[in-house]
Amino acid sequence: MERIAADIRKVLETRTFSGSLKFDCGDEGVIVLADGTASTTDRDTDCTLRLSQENLISLLKGKLNPMMAVATGKMRLSGNPTVALGLAKLLG
Protein backbone atom coordinates (compact mmCIF):
# COMPACT_ATOMS: atom_id res chain seq x y z
CA MET A 1 0.00 0.00 0.00
CA GLU A 2 2.90 2.34 0.69
CA ARG A 3 3.98 2.18 -2.98
CA ILE A 4 0.48 3.15 -4.11
CA ALA A 5 0.37 5.98 -1.55
CA ALA A 6 3.74 7.24 -2.82
CA ASP A 7 2.41 7.31 -6.39
CA ILE A 8 -0.64 9.29 -5.21
CA ARG A 9 1.62 11.74 -3.35
CA LYS A 10 3.43 12.44 -6.64
CA VAL A 11 0.11 13.28 -8.30
CA LEU A 12 -0.83 15.53 -5.38
CA GLU A 13 2.28 17.62 -6.03
CA THR A 14 0.58 19.02 -9.15
CA ARG A 15 -3.13 18.54 -8.39
CA THR A 16 -5.31 19.38 -5.43
CA PHE A 17 -7.88 17.33 -3.57
CA SER A 18 -10.41 18.86 -1.19
CA GLY A 19 -11.76 17.04 1.82
CA SER A 20 -10.57 13.74 3.19
CA LEU A 21 -11.06 10.34 1.64
CA LYS A 22 -10.03 6.83 2.63
CA PHE A 23 -9.42 3.89 0.32
CA ASP A 24 -10.12 0.93 2.62
CA CYS A 25 -8.73 -2.30 1.20
CA GLY A 26 -9.51 -4.37 4.31
CA ASP A 27 -6.63 -6.53 5.51
CA GLU A 28 -4.43 -5.12 2.73
CA GLY A 29 -4.50 -1.69 4.41
CA VAL A 30 -5.74 1.84 3.83
CA ILE A 31 -4.70 4.97 2.00
CA VAL A 32 -5.98 8.26 3.36
CA LEU A 33 -6.04 11.40 1.23
CA ALA A 34 -6.11 14.45 3.48
CA ASP A 35 -4.25 17.69 4.05
CA GLY A 36 -2.68 17.59 0.58
CA THR A 37 -0.99 14.21 0.96
CA ALA A 38 -1.59 10.46 0.95
CA SER A 39 -0.86 8.33 4.01
CA THR A 40 -1.21 4.68 5.01
CA THR A 41 -2.17 5.71 8.55
CA ASP A 42 -5.84 5.03 9.25
CA ARG A 43 -8.06 7.88 10.48
CA ASP A 44 -11.63 9.13 10.19
CA THR A 45 -12.42 10.77 6.84
CA ASP A 46 -15.30 12.57 5.12
CA CYS A 47 -15.74 9.67 2.70
CA THR A 48 -14.62 6.03 2.60
CA LEU A 49 -14.31 3.83 -0.47
CA ARG A 50 -14.09 0.11 0.32
CA LEU A 51 -12.55 -2.00 -2.43
CA SER A 52 -9.86 -4.59 -3.05
CA GLN A 53 -6.28 -3.51 -3.62
CA GLU A 54 -6.53 -4.91 -7.15
CA ASN A 55 -9.61 -2.76 -7.86
CA LEU A 56 -7.90 0.28 -6.30
CA ILE A 57 -4.98 -0.09 -8.69
CA SER A 58 -7.39 -0.44 -11.63
CA LEU A 59 -9.30 2.64 -10.46
CA LEU A 60 -6.14 4.74 -10.17
CA LYS A 61 -4.92 3.60 -13.61
CA GLY A 62 -8.27 4.58 -15.16
CA LYS A 63 -9.16 0.99 -16.01
CA LEU A 64 -12.07 0.82 -13.56
CA ASN A 65 -14.89 3.32 -13.90
CA PRO A 66 -15.88 4.52 -10.40
CA MET A 67 -19.61 4.59 -11.16
CA MET A 68 -19.51 1.08 -12.61
CA ALA A 69 -17.45 -0.12 -9.64
CA VAL A 70 -20.15 1.06 -7.24
CA ALA A 71 -22.98 -0.26 -9.44
CA THR A 72 -21.39 -3.71 -9.71
CA GLY A 73 -20.40 -3.95 -6.05
CA LYS A 74 -16.64 -3.78 -6.66
CA MET A 75 -16.53 -0.63 -4.54
CA ARG A 76 -18.72 0.58 -1.67
CA LEU A 77 -19.00 4.23 -0.74
CA SER A 78 -19.87 5.61 2.68
CA GLY A 79 -19.88 9.17 3.92
CA ASN A 80 -19.98 12.29 1.77
CA PRO A 81 -20.28 11.32 -1.93
CA THR A 82 -19.32 14.85 -3.01
CA VAL A 83 -15.80 14.20 -1.73
CA ALA A 84 -15.62 11.06 -3.86
CA LEU A 85 -16.58 13.10 -6.92
CA GLY A 86 -13.43 15.16 -6.32
CA LEU A 87 -11.42 12.10 -7.31
CA ALA A 88 -12.17 12.90 -10.94
CA LYS A 89 -9.90 15.96 -10.73
CA LEU A 90 -7.18 13.90 -9.10
CA LEU A 91 -7.38 10.99 -11.53
CA GLY A 92 -8.05 13.08 -14.60
CATH code of the domain containing 58? 3.30.1050.10
CB 38 within 8 A of CB 9: yes
Q: Domain residues for 87?
A: 2-91
> Chain-wide mean pLDDT for the chain?
94
Mean pLDDT of 7-18: 92
Q: What's residue 44's pLDDT?
A: 97
Mean pLDDT of 28-44: 96
Distance between CA atoms of residues 19 and 24, nearest Å: 16
**Domain tally for the chain?**
1
Whole-model pTM? 0.93
The phi-psi region of residue 64 (left if phi > 0; otherwise alpha if psi is between -120 and 50; otherwise beta) is: beta
pLDDT tens figures, 47-70: 999 999 999 999 999 999 988 999
